[in-house]
């Protein structure tokens, strides 16, 4: 019998996505699920606007949460634009290599904790190597139209399910929006009898 599917919509520009990643990926260790990582374009690259006051509040809130979770945060390089699209392309390659978790965690740490610029060759290469990925394969993913189509499909599906923000987890049609809803999802998965024995 196939494992139950959980979709995990994520943006490399979202600090809340960064906070969600260690616990989000750990769900697949704790439960009999097939966790599908779905990288999406940042809101501002989809024509959405984010007020300055919200951005300031977000940074303060994320810093508090990062400290509580023991995650590095504060040495930031905003990946808006090429940084985000390059991370999205490589994340699809990482999925194919069975290393999505490793890449997402390395990219998140680089962007939000080490001020690594994934728009540069040096920055992206550092992230890819930290994730155990072949650099030539990563470079090929950056120009692969099939990879770009997969990212576009992920972004379109996020919109189709009626959402805009990330992270979002979807299990059997139910959406769990926000890094602070992972525990709620874990309860639902447990109630569904999916806990590993």
Per-residue confidence in pLDDT tens, the chain, 197 aa: 678 999 999 999 999 999 999 999 999 999 999 999 999 999 878 777 777 788 888 999 999 999 999 999 999 999 999 999 999 999 999 999 999 999 999 999 999 999 999 999 999 999 999 999 999 999 999 999 999 999 999 999 999 999 888 999 999 999 999 999 999 999 999 999 998 85
DSSP annotation string for 95-149: HHTT-HHHHHHHHHHHHHHS---TTSHHHHHHHHHHTT--HHHHHHHHT-HHHHH
What is the pLDDT, as a whole number, of residue 197?
59
List CB contacts of 155: < 8 A, sequence separation 6 or more: 40, 41, 46
- Note the pTM of the prediction, 2 decimals: 0.95
The CATH fold of domain 4-191: Glutaredoxin (3.40.30)
Provide the residue ranges of all domains of the chain, joining segments of one domain with +. 4-191
pLDDT of residue 152: 97
């Amino acid at each position: 019998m196939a494992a139950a599917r959980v979709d995990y919509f994520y943006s490399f520009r979202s600090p809340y996505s960064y906070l969600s990643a260690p616990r989000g990926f750990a769900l697949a260790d704790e439960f009999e699920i097939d966790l599908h990582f779905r990288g999406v374009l940042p809101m501002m690259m989809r024509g959405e606007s984010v007020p300055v006051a919200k951005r300031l509040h977000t940074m303060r809130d994320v810093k508090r949460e990062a400290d509580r979770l023991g995650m590095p945060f504060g040495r930031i390089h905003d990946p808006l634009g090429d940084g985000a699209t390059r991370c999205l392309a490589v994340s699809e390659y990482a999925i194919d290599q069975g290393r999505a978790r490793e890449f997402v965690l390395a990219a998140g740490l680089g962007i939000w904790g080490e001020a690594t610029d994934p728009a540069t060759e040096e920055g992206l290469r550092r992230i890819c190597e930290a994730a155990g990925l072949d650099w030539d394969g990563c470079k090929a993913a950056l120009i692969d139209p099939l990879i770009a189509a997969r990212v576009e499909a992920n972004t379109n599906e996020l919109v189709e399910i009626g959402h805009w923000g990330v992270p979002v987890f979807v299990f059997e049609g139910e959406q769990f929006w926000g890094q602070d809803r992972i525990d709620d999802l874990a309860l639902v998965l447990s109630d569904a009898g999916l806990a590993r024995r």
